A and B are shown apart, each in its own frame.
Chain A
Amino acid sequence: DSGVTQTPKHLITATGQRVTLRCSPRSGDLSVYWYQQSLDQGLQFLIQYYNGEERAKGNILERFSAQQFPDLHSELNLSSLELGDSALYFCASSASGGAAMGSTEAFFGQGTRLTVV
């Protein structure tokens, strides 16, 4: 058990809908990272938050957004869903803000399996 909790584990929704994925980081970790893992592209970095502020942005679509709350949990919002958004979405947390501040060892949650039909 990595200590990172993601909910829900599975989500099935229709095209055009909006969903929210939730992540609770390990106790004491300030950074939260979101990754998308699809069948044909492997793990793609979406976005990172550190202590409530956006720290780094990757290949995140404009239809997607995220935030980190004062209690450090994070939510990833996916809107106007398309079939191609079907994927595993992973959240990871680390103690530091990233490699520049020490180890970037990140602990991953079990993921949310999103299926858009």
Chain B
Amino acid sequence: GESVGLHLPTLSVQEGDNSIINCAYSNSASDYFIWYKQESGKGPQFIIDIRSNMDKRQGQRVTVLLNKTVKHLSLQIAATQPGDSAVYFCAEADTGTASKLTFGTGTRLQVTL
């Protein structure tokens, strides 16, 4: 989307390699986390979510890892494809007090051939 104008950290990976995108969250009370993908010209698209009672969750080609001790979240993409090129955002929510999602600043993933 228009986030291409943001000065985002960029991760470049070769097609076929695995990608790991990291996110540090700030609120220790957050207990629900989501990864979103935003392609150019589109709105954020849900990829995978995880609750704080889990430390790992797998989807199709994606895995989210949660480390509550250090407030760190990561998204692993297996066998990265050109179509994975996008900006990836993590989002957190404290389900006990608020329903809104707080988004991180995002990471741009560039897949090279």
Partners in one complex: yes
Binding site for B on A (CB under 8 A): 2, 4, 31, 33, 35, 37, 39-40, 42-45, 48, 50, 55-56, 58, 88, 90, 92, 97-101, 103-111, 113
B-side contacts of A33, CB under 8 Å: 100-101
Contact B3–A42 (Cβ < 8 Å): yes
Tell me the count of chain B residues lying within 8 A, CB to CB, of chain A. Answer: 31
Contact B95–A100 (Cβ < 8 Å): yes
Measured between alpha carbons, how far is A103 from B33 in the docked complex, in Å? 10
Say whether B5 faces chain A, with CB atoms less than 8 Å apart.
yes
Residue among A43, A44, A55, A110 with the most chain B CB within 10 A?
Answer: A43
Contact A98–B98 (Cβ < 8 Å): yes
8 Å CB contact of B93 from A88, A104, A107, A113: A104
Contact B6–A111 (Cβ < 8 Å): no
Contact B2–A39 (Cβ < 8 Å): yes
Dominant SS among interface residues on chain B = loop
Contact A42–B105 (Cβ < 8 Å): yes
Say whether B43 faces chain A, with CB atoms less than 8 Å apart.
yes
Contact B100–A58 (Cβ < 8 Å): yes
Measured between alpha carbons, how far is A108 from B103 in the docked complex, in Å? 14
A-side contacts of B42, CB under 8 Å: 110
Say whether B49 faces chain A, with CB atoms less than 8 Å apart.
yes
Nearest-CB distance from B107 to chain A (Å)? 11
> What 0/1 pattern do residues 44 to 63 of B give for CB contact below 8 A with A?
11100100000000000000
- Nearest B residue to A97 by beta-carbon distance? B99
Measured between alpha carbons, how far is A2 from B5 in the docked complex, in Å? 23
Contact B46–A105 (Cβ < 8 Å): yes
A-side contacts of B3, CB under 8 Å: 37, 42, 88
Contact A43–B103 (Cβ < 8 Å): yes
